Amino acid sequence: MPDPDQDEAPQGTARLGAWLIVVGTATFTVVWVMGLLTASPAFSWHHSMISDLGSHACVVRNGYRMCSQHAASFNLGLVVAGIAVATASWCVRRVWGRPLTFATTSLGAGLLLLGLVPSDVSHGVHMVGAVLTLPMTAAGVLISAEAASAPLPPGGVARRARRRRVLHVRRSLGAVALVACLDHLLGDSGAVIPRGVAEAVSVVAIVTALLLEAWRFLSWRPRQGWQLPWRERAAPD
């Protein structure tokens, strides 16, 4: 059994990271919803990208008018969320494993880039941020579930069954997010569902996956022993 004193610092840092995940995803969700509520009546949420809410100039793209009266506050929210999530990725790096840490880092960097470089400033750079935020993050979440599946940790039947359920949920959310991203990239002409809807589905799946991991960490109590149940590189639960 590890020495509690040796695990105290990583545990405290990682708990901070889990809280930053909550703060970052909550900030993004709030500015997203507020952006939709205050957008121009001509804004089509189911055909436009979410980050178009940060466009300062009213532009017509794919036949739809994209305007936001509160682009500055939306972009500021993305930057705040990006800083929180990027910092969280550093805090949890020792307990979440490389794939999930990569997903968190990608999400944080992508949100930062989207907020700092709106689509009407540099569309190419903005799209790099979009790729980091959605498909790269979704792939990281999916790969993390596969990487943590083999071998399953030692322990009782209940512990192993619980771990399988956790990984199944994460795998499903990662797969849904990645498929929705691919549908989104096809554009309205080839997509199964409108690109804005596909992007929203992907975002919700990614946010849910990260919040569930943060909740698992924050709900753990020392009475369960010093074998940290979320340490994916050693003994995940």
Question: What are the extents of the domains in the chain?
Answer: 4-224
Pairing assessment for the beta strands 59-61 and 64-66 based on DSSP bridges: antiparallel
Q: Which residue has the higher pLDDT, 89 or 40?
A: 89
Whether residue 3 is predicted with pLDDT greater than 60 in this model: the reply is no
Q: Write down the H helix ranges in the chain.
A: 4-38, 71-91, 98-116, 123-131, 137-147, 157-185, 187-190, 195-218
**Rg (alpha carbons) of the chain, rounded to whole number:** 19
Give CA angle at 205 (58, 108), nearest 5°: 65
Dist. CA 108–CA 188, nearest whole Å:
27
pLDDT at residue 235 in the model: 37
Please give the Cα distance from 108 to 87 (Å, whole number). Answer: 8
Average pLDDT over residues 202-222: 87
**pLDDT of res. 190:** 60
pLDDT in the model for residue 191: 61
Q: What percent of the chain has pLDDT over 90?
A: 41
Condensed to tens digits (0 to 9), the pLDDT of residues 170-181 reads: 999 999 999 998
Chain segment 112-144, per-residue pLDDT in tens: 999 999 888 888 898 899 999 999 999 999 999
pTM of the model: 0.81
Confidence of residue 166 (pLDDT cuts 50, 70, 90): confident
66-118: per-residue pLDDT in tens?
666 788 899 999 999 999 999 999 999 888 889 999 999 999 999 999 999 98
Two structure tokens written together for 216:
């698992």
Residue whose C-alpha is closest to residue 126's, from 63, 194, 176, 71: 71
Q: Say how far apart CA 208 and CA 197 lie, in whole Å.
A: 16
